[in-house]
């Protein structure tokens, strides 16, 4: 495993806002290439869930950073584990997502999780998605992509994922949460959400998952 940000990293780094589809695209690109996959957002969600279960407020930076350093997490092909519990569904709630956005603003928390993320890179190659994969975690990635979509499109995707109608009070609440999280991610003082200058931009608002995956693969194969 690599321990530092080496030159010419065999990485495709895909960044973007919440519900932009970057996780699904990244996972399918990784499968197509036979590479490993890192969902960096899961680490922040796991930290948020762990803090909640330990009775620690997401606003308590030092306490959350300590928890991040000792996060008892395991990733397998089937599940994401916290201690000995599969928490795939537990980390995907809106509450945990918002708490993850809060703790992601803390520099000490991001620093605690930085090496854990870099440790996912092996000679096999890695597709990593998140909000600072290209700018901070893997600055020498072979391909950098900033993937986004219109906020209402992203809210509709999240509603569909949750089995909710794409209109009405529930949908409006999802849209507000997405816009609130976008604002927090863009304006945090350390590693804010932004497109790396070297990143290729991909708006998926009118694209299918298959079309988005193919675009990223085409870009990589043209390198």
Q: Per-residue pLDDT for the chain (223 aa), expressed as one digit of tens each?
A: 344 444 679 999 999 998 898 989 999 999 999 999 998 888 999 999 999 999 999 999 999 999 999 999 887 767 889 998 999 999 988 899 889 989 988 999 999 999 889 988 989 999 999 988 999 999 999 999 999 999 999 999 989 888 999 899 999 999 998 998 888 888 877 777 888 999 999 999 999 999 999 999 999 999 8
Bridging pattern class, strands 126-130 and 9-15: parallel
- Residue 125's Cβ-side half-sphere holds a number of Cα atoms within 13 Å equal to 15
Contacts of 85 (CB under 8 A, 6+ apart): none
Predicted TM-score (pTM) of this structure = 0.81
CA gap 94, 161 in Å, rounded: 12
Answer for the pair 98, 49: CB distance below 8 angstroms, yes or no: no
The answer to whether 26 and 36 have CB atoms below 8 angstroms apart is no
Domains of the chain, first to last? 9-211 (3.40.50.300)
């Amino acid at each position: 495993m690599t321990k530092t940000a080496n030159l010419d990293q065999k990485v495709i780094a895909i960044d973007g806002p919440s519900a932009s589809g970057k996780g699904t695209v990244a996972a399918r690109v990784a499968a197509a290439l036979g590479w490993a996959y890192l969902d960096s957002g899961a680490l922040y969600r796991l930290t948020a869930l762990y803090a909640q279960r330990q009775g620690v407020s997401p606003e308590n930076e030092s306490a959350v950073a300590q928890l991040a350093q000792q996060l008892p997490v395991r990733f397998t092909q089937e599940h994401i584990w916290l201690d000995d519990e599969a928490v795939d569904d537990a980390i995907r709630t809106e509450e945990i997502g918002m708490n993850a956005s809060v703790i992601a603003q803390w520099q000490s928390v991001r620093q605690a999780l930085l090496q854990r993320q870099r440790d996912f890179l092996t000679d096999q190659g890695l597709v990593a998605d998140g909000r600072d994969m290209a700018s901070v975690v893997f600055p020498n990635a072979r391909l950098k992509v900033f993937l986004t979509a219109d906020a209402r499109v992203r809210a509709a995707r999240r509603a569909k994922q949750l089995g909710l109608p794409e209109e009405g009070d529930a949908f409006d609440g999802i849209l507000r949460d997405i816009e609130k999280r976008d604002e927090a991610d863009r304006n945090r003082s350390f590693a804010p959400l932004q497109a790396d200058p070297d990143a290729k931009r991909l708006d998926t608002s009118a694209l299918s998952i298959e079309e988005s995956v193919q675009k990223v693969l085409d870009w990589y194969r043209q390198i």
